[in-house]
Structures are given as structure tokens and as C-alpha cells.
Amino acid sequence: MAISLMDLPYEKTALAPHISEDTLNYHHGKHHQAYVTKTNDAIKGTALDDADLEAIVKEAKKTANQGLFNNSAQVWNHNIYWQSMSPNGGGAPKAGSKIAEAIDKSFGSYDEFKAKFKDAGGTQFGSGWAWLVAKKDGSLEILKTLNADCPLTDESVTTLLTMDVWEHAYYLDYQNARPDYMTHFLDNLVNWDFAEERLAAA
């Protein structure tokens, strides 16, 4: 069972002007596709040939197969990232929603969350990711990871959403202005409905 490139949950023009069609053509069609292709090449003819993506990522981490981990984790990371955005997203989550209540309880306010999430993305040196995760006790935590690393391999948390801070996520639209990209992500794109669904399933 080969791993497939996830279809975007919106048209490639739908996130403009915050993220352009050119960026999605390049980021989804080239970068994400390359991770899928390299993952499939790596698992072909092995015991993981019929495994699902999450199992591949976890096994690669467990066995310290760095090449397989880098590519398979990047497939998973991008799958979460595309769903973490919506043409109808952005701003604070709906008042009274479980995610809004959890943010207030964990960070004090949405504004505090926003500042800390942007700080995580902005202080991630080089390539990586900023994550919002739920812990077993229901509290939320912000994480940042380097390169392909992700919370999937940590059984103590559930990933709710992510923001890609690799340069290829924003360079065509924002050049080296990562803070501008992060502001647009949070103010105009972040998909709280997706986070709410994942929180409910945690």
C-alpha cells in the first residue's frame, strides 16, 4: 500500500493573498510530493510496504532510520499543516468552543497563545515547525521542532495543528519575513475547526 500525496482541502487559489497559488504549487506539488516519492521508494519491498503512514513514521523513529524518518515524517507533518489552514480561518477560535476554553485555561487568553505560538515559530532556528498539542490532562502546550521532527512520536500528546516555518512555506510570498507570514497564518488562515476535531478525539 503505497503512501499517497494528500489532496489539498481547498483550491490552490483559496488561501491567497496570504499564501499564493505559486507557493502551493511549489510547496505541495514539489516538496510534499518529493517526500511521498522518497518514502515509497524507501519502504518498497520491506516489512513496512503495507503499513500506514503513522506506523511508518513511528517505526523509522524507533529504529533510528533517519532517512525514512525524515521523508515519512515530512509527509505526515505536511498533511497536518494543510488541514491547519482554511480560507475561512484566522483569528481567535469561536467563543464557547472547547478549543477556545482550553486556550484560555492553558495560556490565559488567545492573545497570550498567539504571542507564544509566534515566538515558537520565530525562534525556531533554521527549518522546522511550531505545534499546538494537547496533553493527557487536557491542557495545551506549544512545541517547536527542528527539520522533520514532530509530536507524532510522543505518545503523551495529541497534535492539534501546526505551522510550517521552513523557508519554502513562505519565501515566495514573504521572502525572509517569517514574522509577517506567521501573522497572516494566525490572523487569516488558522483552522480552529480542525483543531477542535482533533481535541475532541484526543
Under 8 Å between Cβ of 178 and 121? yes
Q: 145 near 187, Cβ under 8 Å? A: no
C-alpha dihedral (9, 88, 27, 31), degrees to nearest 10:
-40
The CATH architecture assigned to 21-83 reads Orthogonal Bundle (1.10)
Q: What is the largest CA-CA distance in the chain?
A: 50
165: CB partners within 8 A, 6+ apart: 121, 122, 124, 127, 128, 129, 130, 178, 182
Q: Could you give the 3-state DSSP secondary structure of residue 128?
A: strand
Look up the pTM and report it: 0.97
Q: How crowded is residue 65: how many other Cβ atoms within 10 Å of its Cβ?
A: 16
Report whether 164 belongs to an annotated binding site: yes
Taking a C-beta distance cutoff of 8 angstroms, is the pair 77, 150 a contact?
yes
Residue type, 84: S
Grid coordinates in use for 152? 507524532
Annotated binding residue at 78? yes
Binning pLDDT at 50, 70 and 90, where does residue 2 land? confident
Q: 23-54: per-residue pLDDT in tens?
A: 999 999 999 999 999 999 999 999 999 999 99
Backbone angles phi, psi at 2, to 5 degrees: -70, 150
Q: Which residues contact 187 (CB under 8 A, 6 or more apart)?
A: 90, 91
Q: What percent of the chain has pLDDT over 70?
A: 100
Q: Is 180 annotated as a binding residue?
A: no
Q: Is 31 annotated as a binding residue?
A: no
What are 88-132's pLDDT values in tens digits? 999 999 999 999 999 999 999 999 999 999 999 999 999 999 999
Averaged pLDDT score across all residues of the chain: 97
Query: Hey, what's the cell of 125?
Result: 532556528
Domain limits of the chain? 21-83, 98-201
CATH class as words, domain 98-201: alpha beta
The pLDDT tens digits of the residues spanning 61-74 come to 999 999 999 999 99
